[in-house]
Amino acid sequence: MPAADVNKNPAELIAHLEGVLSAEPGSERFWELADAYTRAGRFPEATEVCRRGLALHANSARGFLALGRALFGIGRLNAAAGSLRRAIDLEPDTPEGYRLLGELLLRRGIH
């Protein structure tokens, strides 16, 4: 996420990123909007943004990570695990995928 975006409050950040994606519907920044929605508890919007973005960017590890977070947030743990595994497959050096998958497996009682 660009440094200027970090300082925005959640509503401003969401509005900004919605504008970015409205101007460039094929932007690879879709995962940023999905993460902002997830942080705001707007999980259905986050999953929809990810699904649209991943249809265009099928190898976006960040997109699958964002989808995994959103699905985790609404309790769809099996689907979240699949998305997180896909993110890890695409970028095995990214620790966030492993951390979230570990948290998910603990929550499911699988360790």
CA angle 76, 9, 104 (to 5 degrees): 20
pLDDT in tens, 85-105: 999 999 999 899 999 999 999
**pLDDT in the model for residue 3:** 42
Q: Quickly state the pLDDT bin for 109 (edges 50, 70, 90).
A: confident
Which residue stretches of 24-111 are H helix?
30-39, 43-56, 61-73, 77-90, 95-108
Question: Per-residue pLDDT averaged across 66-75, rounded?
Answer: 97
d(CA 97, CA 69): 9
Q: Quickly state the pLDDT bin for 18 (edges 50, 70, 90).
A: very high
Count of residues in the chain:
111
pTM: 0.89
d(CA 92, CA 13): 29
